[in-house]
A and B are shown apart, each in its own frame.
Chain A
Amino acid sequence: MPLAPSLAVPDWMRTPNPVVASGRAPSRWLNQTVAKIRRTYARTIAFESVARARHGVSQMNPVAKAISFLSLLVAASVVRSPEVLAAVAGLGLVSALSARMPLISLLSRVVGSAAFFGLVLAIPVATAWVTPGIEAARLGEIAVTWPGLERGGCLLARLATAILIASVWQSTTRWNDILGSLARLGVPEIFITMAQMTYRFLFILLETLGDMTQAREARQISGYRAQGSRAYAGAGSAILFAKSATTAHEVQMAIEARGGMAKSVLLRNPGWSKTDFVVLAVCLTFLVLSIASGVTHAF
C-alpha cells in the first residue's frame, strides 16, 4: 500500500556530506566504447540522409536495386578469378561514389568488419591445421602455409567485397525500401518482420545503453574494483536487455495503436528508368562472368 510522502527531512540531508575518500578515476573504457557505438549510429543516420538525397544509385528503383545488388553479392561469393572480384569491388565503389557517400567512413567500416572476420576466419584457415602445404612462417606451435595464406587472403577479399556491396546497398536505400523490395521479390513476410524487429530492437538497445552509461556516469564517483566491475557488466547487460525489451514492447504497442503491424511497404516506388535497366544489366553480366570464371580459372 503506497504511503503519503513525508516532509520530515532527515538530519543528514540538512548537513554537508562527510568528506569522501577519492578513489581511483573510473575506467573510461565503457563510456568510450558506448560513445563510439553511438557515433557509428549517428553516422548510420547520416547515411539515411545519403539515401534520401537523390544521387546516383540512391535514386534507383528499390526493386531494380535489390536485384542488382543481390546479384553482385552472389557474384562476390561464387567468383573464382581475382580480376572479376576486383571488378565487382570496383563496381561497388563506383556506385558509392555516384551516391556521393563519404568514402572514408565507408572504407573504414569495410576494413573494420573485414579485419574482425579476418581474425576469426582467415587466420585459422591460413594455418597448417586447416590448409596443409608448404610452410610460409611459424610462430611456436602455429604454422602458416602458402596455400593457406592464399585461401585466407581469398576469403578476406571476397568478404571485404561482399561487405562493401552490402554497405553501399544499405546506405543508399532506406531500410523500409530494402525490406519492401525483398518482400516484392518473394522473401517470406516472417523473415522481413524479424529483420524489421531486430533492426528496431538494436536501435533501442543502443539508445538504452547510452542512457544507462550517462546515468551511471552522473552518479559514479570512483573507479570500481575489478570484481565489482565484472559484477556490474553481468547484471548491467541483463538489465539493459530487460529495459530494451520493455521499450521495444512499448514501441510495438505504439505501432499497433496506430494501425497494426508495420507492413513492409515501399516508401518510394518510382517506375523503372533507363538507368535502372542499365545498372541491372551490368550487374547481371558480372554475375554471369563470375559464374563462368569458376570454370576457367582456379582461384
Chain B
Amino acid sequence: MLFELRDVAFHYEDGTPALNGIDASIAAGDRLVILGANGSGKSTLLRILAGLEFPTGGSIRWDGTDLSEKSLRDASLRTDFRTRVGFVFQNADAQLFNATVQEEIEFGPRQMGLREPEVRERTTDIMRMLGIQHLAERPPFRLSGGEKRKVAMASVLSMNPDVILMDEPFLGLDPRSQSWLLKTLQILSASGKTTILATHTLDLVPQVSDRTWVLDETHHLIADAASVDVLRDLGRLRRANLTALEEATV
C-alpha cells in the first residue's frame, strides 16, 4: 500500500476539528476522488497525504514507513517522499514563491538534482503541454487566476511525481483547459501514476476516478467505494450535503 491511514484525526491549533477517525488506504495506480462539502476536511486530508500537516490522532504510513514530522527529517525518506508525491494546492496563489514562471517550474527538477539540460528540457516540455510558454518571464503572483493554476500544476508536473495530489484542480480553468486536464490525468494514470483529487463537483468524478471517498460534515469518512456506486447512492451524498438544494429536498 502507498498510504495507510489508521484512525487519523486532525484539529487545527485553534481547536477547529477537520478530520475524525479516518481509516483507509490507497494503492499504487489508484484513481481516487475525495468528495465532501465545504469545510468537510478535503484540503486538510490532502495536506496530510502530502506530508505537510501531521495527524493529531492516529497514524499515517507511506510505503510501509510511518510518516511524521520526525521521520521526514530523515534525508533518504524525505527525498523518496518529496520526489514521488506532488501536491497542487487549492489556492494557487499560496503555492507560487519564485520570481518568474520559468524559475517556478524549474525549482522542483533542480531540487531533485537533475542536470541543467534536463531541467531545461522538462520546463520547456511542461510549458508547451500547458500552453504557457508566453508566461515564462512573468512573475507568477501577477497572473490571472487560471494562469496561476496552470503554473502551479506545471511546477508539480515537472517533478514527475508518482502520486499526484490535486485540490480542486478544475476550479477556474476555462473549458478547453478543463478537458485538457481531464485527458492528461487519464494519460498519466494509464502510465501508472496514482491520482488523488479533492472536489465537490460531481459531474467529472466518473471520468477521473475509479474510487471515491466521501467526507461528511462531521469530518468522518462515510464512503470508500467504487465511484459509480457512490454516485448512485444519492442518500449518502445528501447526508454529506453534496447534492443541490432542489435535488436534496425531493
Contacts and interface: CB of A to CB of B under 8 A. Distances in A.
Interface of A: 1-10, 12-18, 20-26, 28, 39, 42, 45-46, 211-212, 214-223, 235-236, 238-239, 242-243, 246-247
A223 B74 CA distance: 11
A236 B97 contact: yes
B32 interface: no
Contacts of B176: 4-5
Contacts of A7: 129, 180, 183-184, 187
Interface string B79-96: 110111011010101111
B83 A17 contact: yes
Interface string B116-137: 0010011001001111111000
A292 B99 CA distance: 59
B97 A216 contact: yes
Given A23-B113, A218-B82, A222-B78, 4 more contacts: A6-B129, A22-B75, A22-B76, A215-B94
Contacts of A214: 52, 94
A5 B97 contact: no
B177 interface: yes
B201 to A, nearest CB: 20
Contacts of B227: none
A23 B91 CA distance: 29
Contacts of A12: 118, 121-122, 125, 160
Contacts of A238: 99
A28 B98 contact: no
B97 A222 contact: no
Contact of A218 (B80, B87, B99, B114): B87
Given A6-B128, A6-B129, A20 B112 contact: yes
Contacts of B141: 239, 242-243, 246
Contacts of B96: 215
B111 A222 contact: yes
7 contacts: A8-B129, A10-B129, A25-B78, A218-B82, A221-B78, A222-B75, A236-B97
Contacts of B130: 5
A42 B99 contact: no
Contacts of B114: 18, 20
A24 B79 CA distance: 9
Given A17-B112, A221-B78, A5 B187 contact: no
Given A9-B184, A13-B157, A220 B82 contact: yes
A17 B139 contact: no
B167 to A, nearest CB: 12
B129 A222 contact: no
A39 B99 CA distance: 28
B82 A221 contact: yes
A214 B84 CA distance: 17
A217 to B, nearest CB: 6
Nearest to B152: A215
Contact of A221 (B97, B98, B112): B112
B159 to A, nearest CB: 7
Contacts of A46: 14
Contacts of A10: 122, 125, 129
A9 B131 CA distance: 13
Contacts of A22: 75-76, 78-80
A264 B219 CA distance: 39
B191 interface: yes
B14 A4 contact: no
B9 interface: no
B89 A215 contact: yes
B134 A1 contact: yes
A219 B14 contact: no
Interface in B144-169: 155-157, 159-160, 162
Contact of B95 (A42, A215, A239): A215
A292 B152 CA distance: 64
Nearest 6 CB-CB pairs, A to B? A211-B94, A22-B79, A5-B180, A5-B131, A10-B125, A14-B191
B142 interface: yes
Contact of B79 (A2, A20, A239): A20
Interface string B24-68: 000000000000000000000000001010000000000000000
Given A8-B129, A246-B141, A17 B97 contact: no
Contacts of B111: 219-222
A85 to B, nearest CB: 36
Nearest to B128: A6
B190 to A, nearest CB: 9
A235 B121 CA distance: 24
B11 to A, nearest CB: 13
A21 B75 CA distance: 10
B139 to A, nearest CB: 7
Contacts of A23: 75, 79, 113
